[in-house]
A and B are shown apart, each in its own frame.
Chain A
Amino acid sequence: MASQEVKLLGFWVSPFSIRVEWALKLKGVDYEYIEEDIFNKSSRLLELNPVHKKVPVLVHDGKVMAESFILLEYIDETWKQDPLLLPQDPYERSKARFWARVAEEKLLEYSFTAMCTHGEKKEQALKSAVEAAEKIEEEMKRNNKKFLGGESIGYLDLAMGWIAYWLPVWEEVGSMQIVDPSQFPATTAWSKRFLDHPVIKQNLPPRDKMLVYFHERRKILGGLV
């Protein structure tokens, strides 16, 4: 079999590039990881993703692709071995895609904003984040398997994985609580199981460095968000 060249451009603390790494590692796909400094973008990154100038970017046999959710689907369609990331049933697939977007566009956006702001802006963002978390909690409760993908990690677990590890860091940095374990038992239990998975556990950025990084981001973005 001809060797397949896979490269992933990422950033050490980006939940977006890390979720793509998780997918590649779960599937056992070899790839070259290229660390990009997103604050000092290389000409390579700007060439490969001129539209958004962001990581992650996946290059497979010279084919260049971007946008993490799109990359997860590409990976699943190209490397058909286990774990199958997207559900087989079309209705379940549509639900996975739907909830991935809810988590990204509502919970992630509002949580990050709440972390970076103060006063009324923070209160509003916090409220919206909690509302989103409550909807996700309902979905978590409805799922009675080990992961959202079933017995193995799937697309929705990867899409929401940041909740298990980045969100607690943001809560600490922002001196706030969004996913209170007593109010969100299903999400909390899922988070523990997710982080306990050997592939995930071994592919997380160091927490102490994350705290430093996000404290810095909070300071810089403070007035702008």
Chain B
Amino acid sequence: MANTSSTTDVKVLGAWPSPFVIRVRIALNIKSVKYEFLEETFGSKSQLLLQSNPVHKKIPVFIHGGKPIAESLIIVQYIDEVWSSGPSILPSDPYDRAIARFWAAYVDDKFFPPLRLIKSAQGEEKAALVKQVTEGLDLLEEAFQKSSKGKAFFGGDRIGYLDIAFGSTLGWLRATENMGEVKLLDGAKTPGLVLWAESFCADGAVKGLIPETEKLVEFAKLLAARMKGGAPPKQ
């Protein structure tokens, strides 16, 4: 529900390829919050970005009523807490919240970092990265079975915090399979996740936000070319 007029006091600074930015947009969609999407130009950082996230200088940045918030999962929790009348993103039970947070942190610390390196890796290094990612998927499959309790999503009937945290990486997961010529999400090994991925991408709050594989592959090539051509872009 991006609204490009400047009449709202909800802004998202981001870029379309970033899974971290996608998380924020999904959360806003769940809450039916209109926002202004300010797309950062690839390769440079706007004044607004540098001012509103001076510590990390990274996207996404969420600006609500002039107040900036950085770090995607922190932003998603903020959105859940502020627009509390909308559908809940985090589970209500403290233990379920702890589990959702645990696996979301796992996605960021252990799953996505090796995933993003596969496309430019070769040989033994690549094999090791692929192993890390597929082992991660096995763990996430187990987590999915426990968390979903037979429903479509980690969050149950509706997408929740962990769906958002993990699902936002699906674009790059598929693009990596394409570029790395490797099968990562395998119906034979993680059947629950395969079905979940389909349901997630088809969800109303997610539709249109997960970039198509071809676009990401093109973007990755552009990124690689830039890094070879000159000073590596600072992200």
Q: How many residues of B contact A (CB 8 A)?
A: 22
A66 to B106, CA, bound (A): 11
In B103-152, the 8 Å CB interface with A consists of 105-106, 139
What chain B residues lie within 8 Å of A65 (beta carbons)?
A: 95, 98-99, 102
Query: In the complex, what distance in Å separates the CA atom of A132 from the CA atom of B94?
Result: 32
Of B78, B98, B99, which one neighbours A73 at CB under 8 angstroms?
B98
Q: Is A51 a contact of B98 with CB atoms below 8 Å?
A: no
Main secondary structure of the interface of B (DSSP, over half): helix
Any chain A CB within 8 A of the CB of B74? yes
Known contacts A65-B99, A97-B71, A98-B70; A70/B105 CB under 8 A: yes
**Does B70 lie within 8 Å of A70, measured CB to CB?**
no
Confirm or deny: A213 has a beta carbon within 8 angstroms of a beta carbon on chain B: no
**With known contacts A51-B106, A51-B139, A70–B98 Cβ distance under 8 A:** yes
Q: Indicate if the CB atoms of A67 and B77 lie closer than 8 Å.
A: no
Question: A45-68 vs B: 1/0 string, CB under 8 Å?
Answer: 000000100000000100101110
Interface of A is mostly: helix
* Closest beta carbon of chain B to A9's beta carbon, Å: 15
B2 CB, min distance to chain A CBs, angstroms? 22
Q: Are B95 and A63 in contact (CB under 8 A)?
A: yes
Contacting residues, chain B, for A97 (C-beta < 8 A): 71, 74, 77
Asked whether A94 lies within 8 Å of B74 as measured between CB atoms, the reply is yes
B23-78 residues at the A interface, CB under 8 angstroms: 55, 64, 67, 69-71, 74-75, 77-78
A78-104 contact mask (Cβ, 8 Å, vs B): 1 or 0 = 100000000000110111011001100
Checking A71, A94, A101, A135 against B98 with a beta-carbon cut-off of 8 angstroms, the contacting residue is: A71
- Interchain CB contact under 8 A, B94 and A77: yes
Let me know if A66 and B102 touch, CB within 8 A.
yes
Chain A residues lying within 8 Å of B105, measured Cβ to Cβ, are: 67, 70
Check A74 for interface membership: any CB of B closer than 8 A. yes
Contact B98–A90 (Cβ < 8 Å): no
B82 on the interface (CB 8 Å rule)?
Answer: yes
| Contacting residues, chain B, for A98 (C-beta < 8 A) | 69-71, 74
* Contact of B94 with A74 in the complex, beta carbons under 8 Å: yes
Question: B78 contacts A77, CB within 8 Å?
Answer: no
Q: Check if A73 sits within 8 Å of B97, measured CB to CB.
A: yes
Contact between A93 and B81, CB atoms less than 8 A apart? yes
Contact A94–B75 (Cβ < 8 Å)? yes
Collect the chain B residues with CB atoms within 8 Å of residue A90's CB.
Answer: 78, 81-82
10 further A-B contacts with Cβ under 8 Å, apart from A65-B95, A77-B97, are A66-B102, A70-B98, A70-B102, A70-B105, A78-B94, A90-B78, A91-B69, A91-B78, A97-B74, A98-B69
